[in-house]
Amino acid sequence: MAEVIDGKNVAADVVAKVKALTADLAAKGKGQPGLAVVIVGEDPASQVYVASKSRTAKECGFHSVQHTLPAQTTQADLLKLIGTLNADPAIHGILVQLPLPAQIDAGTVIQAIAPEKDVDGFHFVNVGKLGTGELDTAFVPCTPAGSMLLIERVRGKDLSGLSAVVVGRSNIVGKPMANLLLAANCTVTIAHSRTKDLPALARTADILVAAVGRPEMVRGDWVKPGATVIDVGINRIPAPEKGEGKTRLVGDVAYAEAEKVAGAITPVPGGVGPMTIAMLMANTVVSAYLAAGLDRPSF
């Protein structure tokens, strides 16, 4: 049976380090890291994540502000808020929760965030730094950054020469994940909806990352024996066995099958999800250190 990679546990370690760095910053008289989370509309799933981000930010000792805007907010009004947050010296990180309502162009909004406050790592400046291997000065997207820490926990820091398959090519997960694995000297293949014979490709992977958004798509016989399986998927599906109208969370990997073959695997929930939130805190404290003219802490 596979080793279960406990994301909650690793996330708690990251948060503990963020807390200590935050206390050090205050002791140096450099103030408090500030995180602004902006949410437009009332998508219930988004609200759960946003509440969890704000709670963890407070736990870290951050100045934490949340802006909840009505679903009909115009793009101009959202851009105005971002301009205000860009100019606010008490704010070191700005996160605009995605997806945004249809009248707002997410790309325009993301590019309006000051790159040095872009703790999601979605701005072209940060994407470009990751793509050119300038990892020492980039903000790396939280989900792939957290997934890398989980991979390092089981395989060590040297991933050189391992074969990695990333299923999914989104800008927020698949592509940055592939770039991080490439920067770590893995041989990387990115798969997507047009990939031919995905099961056979997946079976070549020493490190298999599933970021698709399809419940339990990756079966046990797609997994190379001993592989490290990182399940990024968060899918809420009906769970009539828990009672009428009840739901449960599953990943993109058929966990019960894959755990019999994999060397190590992340559960859902309790795997990558908590790491995403922890890395947001890490990026925010890094931003505060840089704004204070201090050396960049590493995680």
Minimum distance of ligand GUE from residue 121's CB (angstroms): 9
Supply the minimum distance, in Å, between the C-beta of residue 283 and ligand GUE.
10
Choose among ligand NDP, ligand GUE, none what residue 214 binds, the Cβ cut-off being 5 to 8 Å by kind: ligand NDP
Applying the rule CB under 6 A, the residues between 13 and 42 that interact with ligand GUE are: none
Sequence ranges of the binding site: 168-170, 234
Estimate to the nearest angstrom the gap between the alpha carbon of 193 and the chain centroid: 22
3-state SS of the chain: helix, strand, coil percent to 5? Answer: 40, 15, 40
Q: Does 270 bind ligand GUE (CB under 6 A)?
A: yes
Instruction: Pick the closer one to ligand NDP by CB: 28 or 192.
Output: 192
The β-bridge partners of 35 are 64, 93
Q: β-pairing, 235-238 with 247-250?
A: antiparallel
One of 4, 98, 182, 291 touching ligand GUE (CB under 6 A): 98
Q: By rule CB under 6 A, what string of x and - marks binding of each residue 102-121 to ligand GUE?
A: ------------------x-
Lateral strand order in the sheet of 63-69: 63-69, 34-40, 93-96
Q: Which residue of the chain is nearest ligand NDP when measured via CB?
A: 170
Please count the other Cβ atoms lying within 10 Å of the Cβ belonging to residue 24: 14
Read off the tokens for 293.
């003219």
Range 225-264, binding ligand GUE (CB under 6 A) = 234, 249
Name residues whose C-beta falls within 8 Å of residue 61's C-beta, 6 or more positions apart in sequence.
19, 22, 23, 26, 32, 33
Which residues contribute to the site for ligand GUE (CB under 6 A)?
A: 48-49, 52, 95-98, 120, 142, 234, 249, 268-270, 273-274, 276-277
Q: Which active-site residues does the annotation give?
A: 53, 97, 120
